Structures are given as structure tokens and as C-alpha cells.
């Protein structure tokens, strides 16, 4: 039973585990004030070309989102998100639990546009309503789509003009940056957002998201926020070691490229067979539309998540590939397809 359920079904790239083994008995300073974390931060600063960025490596994505948003907003302020945004549906109200409304905008492809942001601003006119102050976007998005440089520049321009913070959730940043249609670099993203993160959990680390704060307003006392939300890992060097490996020898990009390549094979096979997709993704998440009978057959050989009902007899499913997805797994799926 091969799994295309998600991109966090396996452990970590062997080079990461090896580095953890080699340093296992060395005494380290706790709470991310160790030499590995410092080195990882230097590597990332160099990659993004922002020597003054504040960088904190945090274990998980929901944690990173709730810490960042609650640190940035005053009590009456809200964050604008796509309806499909992770913070809006899949974090059990984590943002609201810190006191802030998520202003969820309908989109057709999981991406916010300047126009949608403007709509949210225009609706919120006075003190009887929350005040939008941050824009949250994901790249790649929860439905596998991604932002082009032109799109991100337009959002960034509007946010700066309107005094909004632009926050990019990069839990699947690797998949976005190594997609065939990508035209963004980490340095571009660093120059266009106020804060963003680079996801390790979904790209070959055991866990870990590197949060990068560019806007000086968001920097003060950030470690207090991490600690208060229970996210300051005692053995914080484990995060540092993992990002050292990810940003040495291109490992981060190589793993994401592999995930995308595996998805590409699936996409080609699906397209060749004439299947359509609920969303037009070039990254490691695919949302093919199948008949419900076919889905039932598929579920006997593979695990995956349901996406949504398309019509009475069809639904879309979600197939996810990862750094660890095997050619064999993909071939097995393509063989299954041949029956249709």
C-alpha cells in the first residue's frame, strides 16, 4: 500500500540524520543559542541576500503561523487569507485562539490578489469592525498553485502602500521554487515580503521551519513570543543541524526538485489519460478528478486524501509526492492508471 497522502510520511534525508548522529554527545547550549543554529542562520542569510534578517527556526508550521501573526498584530487587528489558507481551515482556530480574526476571501485557485485585498480593506471602515493589518499567503498554496514574481510584486506593492504586513507561509516553499513555472528566488521573496518561512518538515527534515523576519517592526522581542507559545525547543540545535544540511550542497532544492519530478510524472500520465484536475498545479500536490468508483479501486492500493465532491459521481483527490517518493511508487500508480 503505497502512500501519496502527504509529504511528511517519511523521516529525514540520511545526511540530516547522519549529522545528528555525529554531534549527538557534544554538549550544546540550549534554546537555539548554539553554533549549529548560528551557522544555519548565516547560510540562510547568505542565500536570501539579507544580512540583517532575523531568523528563528521553529519546529512546526501551525506554531510558526500563530507565533508570527500574534506577535505582529495588536488586539483589534486581523489577517487576510484565502478561504483555503491553512490558517483559516486546518489549524483548529489557532489564530483566533490568540485573539485575531482571519478575514477569509474566496479565491478560485488558492491565491490572494491585490483586488481581493482591496475588497477586504474597503469593507472594514471603522472601529466597529476589525482592522486588516496583515496579508497571509502560502507558496506553494494549499491547492498546489504558486505565485509568479509579477503577482508577488503586485501584492507587495499594495501591502506597502496600505501599511499591511505581507507574510508568506513557505511550508511548501521548496515545491514552489523548483516548479517548472517558478520565476522567484528566495532573495526575491525576502525583498518583497515582511516575513516568510522556509519549510523543512515537508521537504526532508524531521521537523523545522525557518522563519525570516525582514521588517524591523516585527523583530523586537520575538524570542519571548516563541517561548510563550511553547515553541522554544530545549535541544534547539536539532533545528540548526537540520537547516545546516538543507542549505549546504543544495540539499533543500534537490529534494524539492525530486518531489516535483515525481509529481510531474504522475501529472503527465494523468493528462495523457485525459483526466482533469480541480486545480492547475505544477508542484508536488495534484488534485485529479476521478469517478467515485475509480477512487474506491485506487484506495485498495494507495493511500491519499479526498479533496472535494465535483458532481454526483465524481470527486477530486489529493496526491502528494515528497523528497522520498520512489520511482517504484510512481510507476505502480501509472500501472494502475492504465486500467482506465
Residues 58-77 that bind a second copy (CB under 8 A): 59-67, 70-71, 74-76
Which 143-182 positions form the footprint of a second copy (CB under 8 A)? Answer: none
The rounded distance, in Å, linking the Cα atoms of 247 and 244 is 5
**Size of site (CB under 8 A) for a second copy:** 74
Q: Does 242 bind a second copy (CB under 8 A)?
A: no
Q: Does 234 bind a second copy (CB under 8 A)?
A: yes
Q: How far is the CB of 39 from a second copy (least distance, A)?
A: 17
Q: Which of 46, 49, 115, 129 binds a second copy (CB under 8 A)?
A: 129
Backbone CA torsion sign across 193, 194, 197, 198:
positive
| Beta-strand runs (E) in 224-311 | 285-286, 289-291, 302-303, 305-311
Q: Which of 46, 49, 97, 183 binds a second copy (CB under 8 A)?
A: 97
Q: Does 227 bind a second copy (CB under 8 A)?
A: yes
Which residue bears the cell 504522475?
266
Which 182-211 positions form the footprint of a second copy (CB under 8 A)? Answer: 201-202, 206-207
Q: Which of 51, 127, 180, 274 binds a second copy (CB under 8 A)?
A: 127
Strand partners, 199: 209
Longest dimension (CA), the chain: 60
Q: Which of 17, 154, 261, 310 binds a second copy (CB under 8 A)?
A: 17
The rounded distance, in Å, linking the Cα atoms of 273 and 1 is 23
The rounded distance, in Å, linking the Cα atoms of 78 and 72 is 10
Which 23-62 positions form the footprint of a second copy (CB under 8 A)? Answer: 23-30, 59-62
Are the CB atoms for 214 and 202 separated by under 8 Å?
no
CB atoms within 10 A of CB 20: 17
CB atoms within 10 A of CB 23: 16
Q: Does 92 bind a second copy (CB under 8 A)?
A: yes
Q: Does 224 bind a second copy (CB under 8 A)?
A: yes
Q: How far is the CB of 218 from a second copy (least distance, A)?
A: 11
Per-residue x/- mask for a second copy, residues 298 to 327, rule CB under 8 A? --------------------------x---
Amino acid at each position: 500500500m503505497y502512500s501519496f497522502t502527504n509529504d511528511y510520511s517519511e523521516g529525514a534525508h540520511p545526511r540530516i540524520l547522519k549529522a545528528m548522529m555525529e554531534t549527538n554527545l557534544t554538549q550544546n547550549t540550549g534554546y537555539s543559542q548554539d553554533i549549529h543554529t548560528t551557522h544555519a542562520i548565516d547560510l540562510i542569510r547568505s542565500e536570501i541576500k539579507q544580512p540583517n534578517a532575523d531568523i528563528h527556526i521553529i519546529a512546526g508550521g501551525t506554531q510558526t503561523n500563530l507565533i508570527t501573526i500574534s506577535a505582529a498584530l495588536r488586539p483589534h487587528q486581523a489577517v487576510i487569507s484565502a478561504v483555503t489558507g491553512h490558517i483559516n481551515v486546518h489549524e483548529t482556530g489557532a489564530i483566533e485562539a490568540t485573539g485575531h480574526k482571519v478575514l477569509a476571501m474566496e479565491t478560485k485557485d488558492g491565491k490572494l490578489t491585490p483586488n481581493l485585498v482591496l475588497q477586504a480593506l474597503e469593507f472594514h471602515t471603522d472601529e466597529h469592525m476589525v482592522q486588516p493589518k496583515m496579508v497571509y499567503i502560502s507558496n506553494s498554496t494549499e491547492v498546489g498553485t504558486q505565485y509568479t514574481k509579477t503577482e508577488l510584486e503586485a501584492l507587495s506593492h499594495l501591502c506597502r502602500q496600505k501599511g499591511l504586513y505581507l507574510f508568506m507561509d513557505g511550508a511548501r516553499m521548496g515545491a514552489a521554487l523548483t516548479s517548472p513555472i517558478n520565476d522567484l528566488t528566495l532573495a526575491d521573496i525576502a525583498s518583497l515580503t515582511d516575513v516568510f518561512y522556509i519549510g523543512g518538515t515537508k521537504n526532508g527534515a524531521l521537523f523545522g521551519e525557518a522563519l525570516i523576519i525582514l521588517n524591523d517592526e516585527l523583530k523586537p522581542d520575538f524570542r519571548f513570543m516563541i517561548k510563550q507559545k511553547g515553541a522554544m525547543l530545549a535541544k534547539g540545535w536539532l533545528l540548526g543541524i537540520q537547516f545546516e544540511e538543507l542549505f549546504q550542497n543544495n540539499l533543500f532544492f534537490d529534494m524539492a526538485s525530486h518531489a516535483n519530478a515525481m509529481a510531474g510524472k504522475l501529472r503527465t500520465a494523468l493528462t495523457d489519460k485525459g483526466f482533469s484536475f480541480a486545480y492547475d498545479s505544477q508542484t508536488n500536490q495534484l488534485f485529479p478528478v476521478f469517478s467515485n468508483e475509480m477512487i474506491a479501486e485506487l484506495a485498495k492500493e494507495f493511500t491519499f486524501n479526498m479533496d472535494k465532491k465535483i458532481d454526483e459521481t465524481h470527486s477530486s483527490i489529493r496526491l502528494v509526492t515528497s523528497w522520498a517518493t520512489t520511482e517504484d511508487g510512481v510507476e505502480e500508480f501509472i500501472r494502475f492508471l492504465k486500467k482506465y
